[in-house]
């Protein structure tokens, strides 16, 4: 509503279709346009085998050439001037935005270290190496990382990522309604 009142256009491209129909209706009522997602990637052996596969899978998200080409066409045809990604599978957005010379922002909604502790993962040297390998490339290309809590921001600062790229905001989503 705010963006619409300022004369902006909002286009939403989901990796999957949102299940909340009210969210879709409300967003469209305020001028948002939903763009059909490209078909999901086929599952491969990389996505299903052992702990190394998790690391490889995260890196494969960066280089999904089919989705990068699709997003490049959307950015050009709709004259998009800023890109935003949320979940890891959409991180290929950073290459499309770089190619099209537009800013790219990523929102991160879960703490890395605390949530891993909660899930019973070993927080050891290998854990931190994987975190650095998965997020280092993002910090090079992303213009901003939006942290949905102070604890997420503190974790990235603890990990010595560029704090000038970090901002913290409240999600702004009415969780009672959505």
The average pLDDT across 7-21 equals 79
Residue whose pair of structure tokens reads 């990068």 in the numeric block: 68
Count of beta carbons in the 10 Å neighbourhood of residue 111 = 20
Is there a contact between 132 and 153 (Cβ–Cβ < 8 Å)?
Answer: no
pLDDT tens, position by position, 107-122: 998 888 887 787 778 8
Query: What sign results for the dihedral spanned by CA atoms 116, 15, 159, 169?
Result: negative
The average pLDDT across 56-79 equals 84
Q: Is the pLDDT of residue 49 over 80?
A: no
Q: For residue 138, name the pLDDT band (cuts at 50, 70, 90).
A: confident
Supply the pLDDT for residue 66.
87
Supply the pLDDT for residue 153.
93
Furthest-apart CA pair in the chain: how many Å?
Answer: 49
Q: Which residue has the higher pLDDT, 131 or 153?
A: 153
What is the 3-class SS of the chain, one letter each residue? CHHHHCCCCCEEECCCCCCCHHHHHHHHHCCCEEECCCCCCCCCHHHCCHHHHHHHHHHHHHCCHHHHHHHHHHHHHHCCCCEEECCHHHCCHHHHHHHCCCCEEEEECCCCHHHHHHCCCCCCHHHHHHHHHHHHHHHHHCCEEEECCHHHHHHHHHCCCCHHHEEECCCCCCCCCC
The average pLDDT across 27-54 equals 64
- Give which of 111, 124, 133, 155 is closest to 54, Cα–Cα: 133
The average pLDDT across 56-66 equals 76
């Amino acid at each position: 509503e705010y963006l619409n009142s300022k004369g902006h256009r909002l286009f939403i491209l989901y990796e999957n279709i949102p299940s909340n129909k009210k969210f879709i209706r409300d967003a469209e009522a305020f001028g948002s346009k939903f763009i059909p997602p490209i078909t999901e990637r086929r599952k491969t052996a990389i996505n299903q085998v052992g702990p190394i596969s998790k690391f490889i899978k995260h890196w494969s998200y960066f280089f999904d050439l089919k989705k990068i080409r699709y997003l490049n066409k959307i950015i050009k045809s709709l004259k998009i001037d800023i890109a935003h990604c949320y979940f890891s599978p959409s991180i290929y957005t950073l290459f499309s935005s770089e190619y099209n010379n537009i800013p790219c922002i990523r929102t991160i909604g879960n703490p890395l270290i605390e949530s891993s502790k909660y899930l019973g993962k070993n927080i050891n040297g290998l854990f931190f190496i994987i975190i650095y390998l998965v997020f280092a490339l993002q910090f090079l290309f992303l213009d901003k990382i939006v942290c949905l809590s102070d604890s997420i921001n503190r974790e990235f600062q603890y990990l010595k990522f560029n704090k000038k790229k970090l901002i913290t905001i409240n999600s702004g989503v009415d969780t009672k309604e959505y």
